[in-house]
Amino acid sequence: MSEQSNSTHRKAHVVVLGGGYAGTMAANHLRLRTDVDITLVNPRPQFVERIRLHQLAAGTGTATADYGTLLGKGVRLVVDTAGHIDAAARRVLLTSGAALDYDYLIYAIGSTGAAPVAVPGAAEYAHVLSELEGAQKLRYALADLRTEAPVTVVGGGLTGIEAAGELGEQGRAVTLVCGGILGPSLSGPGRRSVAKQLRKLGVNVLESATVTEVRWDSVVLGDGTTLPSAVTVWTAGFGVPDLAARSGLRTDSLGRLLTDETLTSLSDDRIVAAGDAAAPSNQPLRMSCQAAIPLAAQAANTVLSRIAGTAPAVLDQAFTGQCISVGRSFGTVQLARRDDTPVNLYIGGRTAASIKELVCKGTLWGLRKEAAKPGWYRWLKGGDRPADLSAEQQAALR
C-alpha cells in the first residue's frame, strides 16, 4: 500500500540531511507533492557557496546566502548536526540531543577536506578551503600577511588552481605544488590554458612534487627542498563525513553511501542519497555542484515515487565540462563529453571568467527558482553509466 492511501491520517515526513547544493535542491523538489512534511538539517544557519570559498579567503567575494531566499515555503530548517542514523527505528539522532523521526531520509551531507595527519605539521599549520570556517580562518591569516610574503598552495586540482589564481592576482608570491600534473581532470589544451594564465599572474607551478612536512614558516618537499611559506593552503583531496559508516550503513572505501541506480541505499530502502556522499553502483560521480544538483532532484523523485507506490526511475544525468576561475579576470572552461571525460576544446581568458561567474550566480538562481516553482529544474541526461551490477556484485556489496 502506498503512503498516498494513508494521506488522510498523516503526511509522510522526509528528513534531508545536509543543506548544501544537493540538500537544498532535494528539499525544494520534494514540494512537488503538497502532502509531504520536509525537514532540512544543516549545521549552519546559512547556505555556503563552496564554489566561492576561494574568493572568501582572498577577500574578493562572499560565500554565504540566506536560506530564507533559497528554501521553498513549508521546508523546516533545523540548525543541528546528525550524529547517528537509526535505520531500524527510522530516526536521526542529532548532536544537540534531539531526535527526528522520518518516513524517508535523503542523505546529502556532502564532502569535506582536511590536511592529512600523515604529513607532519599539516594538521597544525596548513589551512583548508573545503569548509566555511577554514576559508574564514585563511582570510584572517592573509589579512595580517604582507603582500610579498610567500604563500604555498598544495594540490593541483581545481580547488588549488582557483585558490592560487585568486591570490596570485593580488600580487602575492604564490607557489602551487602539484602532486602530479597540473589539473589532472583537464585535457592537454585546457591544462595549457590554465598554466598560461597562472604564469601571467606570477604563480610558480611545481608539478610532480610532493609535500612531506609542513612547518609554521615553510614546507618540505619530497626531494628535500625547503620552501619558505608564511601561509600554507592544503587543497589536495576530499573526503566525506563518516556518518553512514558509523550508523552501520554500507559505504564505499571513502565512506560514501552505497546505493543502487535509483540512489536507494543498499542497506535500507527508506534511505536515498544525493551529492558528494553518494556512490551509486559503487561508481560515484565527480564531486561537484554540477553533479550534486541533478542527483538531488533524482533522489527526491525516488522518494516521491516510493510515497506514490510507483517504481522509481534509474539515474540518468550527464556532464558538460568544468568551469575554472583563475583570478577574477581570467578562466578556463574545459568542455567534456557527457560521461565527464574532457575533450580537446576549451574556452579561455576573460570570456571564460565571465562564464564561470554566470554559472556561480545561476546556481543560486536555480535553487531559488525551484523553491518558487517545484519541478521547474531540468538537467542534461544521457550520460554513460556502468552496466547494472550482477547479482553476485550486489551480494558482494551487501
Task: Report whether pLDDT(134) > 80.
Answer: yes
Burial of 41 (0-12, 13-18, 19+ CB in 10 A): buried
Task: Report whether pLDDT(1) > 80.
Answer: no
Q: Which residues contact 194 (CB under 8 A, 6 or more apart)?
A: 161, 182, 183, 186, 324, 326, 332
Average pLDDT value for residue range 204-233: 97
Q: Confirm if 19 and 77 have CB atoms less than 8 A apart.
A: yes
Task: Report whether pLDDT(62) > 90.
Answer: yes
Confidence of residue 115 (pLDDT cuts 50, 70, 90): confident
How far apart are the C-alpha atoms of 16 and 182, rounded to whole Å?
36
Separation in Å, CA 105 to CA 36, 222, 269, 351, 395? 12, 45, 9, 41, 23
Closest CA to 64 of 45, 80, 49: 49
Q: 530516526: which residue's cell?
A: 91
CA 174 from centre of chain:
25
Q: Where are the domains of the chain?
A: 12-111+240-316+383-393, 122-238
How far apart are the C-alpha atoms of 316 and 291, rounded to whole Å?
11
Q: Confirm if 31 and 372 have CB atoms less than 8 A apart.
A: no
Average pLDDT value for residue range 57-70: 97
> Is residue 314 classed as helix, strand or coil in its secondary structure?
coil
Q: What are phi and psi of 310, to 5 degrees?
A: -110, 165
The reported pLDDT for the residue numbered 38 is 98
The reported pLDDT for the residue numbered 237 is 80
For the record, the C-alpha cell of 17 comes out as 540531511
Do 122-238 and 12-111+240-316+383-393 have the same topology in CATH? yes
The reported pLDDT for the residue numbered 9 is 59
Architecture of domain 122-238: 3-Layer(bba) Sandwich (3.50)
Average pLDDT value for residue range 75-94: 98
Average pLDDT value for residue range 123-143: 96
How far apart are the C-alpha atoms of 156 and 162, rounded to whole Å?
10
Confidence of residue 4 (pLDDT cuts 50, 70, 90): very low
How far apart are the C-alpha atoms of 129 and 114, rounded to whole Å?
9
The reported pLDDT for the residue numbered 293 is 98
Q: pLDDT tens digits for 14-27?
A: 999 999 999 999 99
Confidence of residue 383 (pLDDT cuts 50, 70, 90): confident
Strands 173-177 and 204-206: parallel
Instruction: Specify whether the backbone of 251 is left (phi greater than 0), alpha (psi in -120 to 50) or beta.
Output: beta
Task: Report whether pLDDT(7) > 60.
Answer: no
The reported pLDDT for the residue numbered 316 is 97
349-372 vs 21-29: helix crossing angle, rounded to 10? 40
> Is residue 67 classed as helix, strand or coil in its secondary structure?
helix
Instruction: Specify whether the backbone of 214 is left (phi greater than 0), alpha (psi in -120 to 50) or beta.
Output: beta
> Is residue 78 classed as helix, strand or coil in its secondary structure?
strand
Confidence of residue 10 (pLDDT cuts 50, 70, 90): confident
The reported pLDDT for the residue numbered 387 is 55
Average pLDDT value for residue range 292-320: 97
Q: Confirm if 375 and 301 have CB atoms less than 8 A apart.
A: no
How far apart are the C-alpha atoms of 169 and 156, rounded to whole Å?
17
How far apart are the C-alpha atoms of 30 and 301, rounded to whole Å?
7
Tell me, what DSSP letter sits at residue 68?
G
Average pLDDT value for residue range 237-243: 90
Q: What are phi and psi of 199, to 5 degrees?
A: -60, -40
Task: Report whether pLDDT(83) > 90.
Answer: yes
Average pLDDT value for residue range 85-110: 98
Q: 556532502: which residue's cell?
A: 110
Half-sphere exposure for 182 (CA within 13 Å, toward CB) = 26
Task: Report whether pLDDT(116) > 90.
Answer: no
Average pLDDT value for residue range 147-168: 97
How far apart are the C-alpha atoms of 27 and 19, rounded to whole Å?
9
Q: pLDDT tens digits for 322-372?
A: 999 999 999 999 999 999 999 999 999 999 999 999 999 999 999 999 999
Tell me, what DSSP letter sits at residue 251?
B
For the record, the C-alpha cell of 214 comes out as 609542513
The reported pLDDT for the residue numbered 8 is 52
Q: Confirm if 320 and 380 have CB atoms less than 8 A apart.
A: yes
Task: Report whether pLDDT(222) > 80.
Answer: yes
How far apart are the C-alpha atoms of 210 and 220, rounded to whole Å?
8
For the domain 12-111+240-316+383-393, what is the CATH superfamily, name and number?
A: FAD/NAD(P)-binding domain (3.50.50.60)
Confidence of residue 66 (pLDDT cuts 50, 70, 90): very high
Average pLDDT value for residue range 151-172: 97
Residues in the chain: 398
Task: Report whether pLDDT(398) > 80.
Answer: no
Task: Compute the radius of gyration of the chain from its Cα atoms.
Answer: 22
Task: Report whether pLDDT(114) > 90.
Answer: no
> Is residue 40 classed as helix, strand or coil in its secondary structure?
strand
Q: What is the mean pLDDT of the chain?
A: 94
Task: Report whether pLDDT(216) > 80.
Answer: yes
Task: Report whether pLDDT(394) > 70.
Answer: no
Task: Report whether pLDDT(396) > 70.
Answer: no
How far apart are the C-alpha atoms of 155 and 182, rounded to whole Å?
9
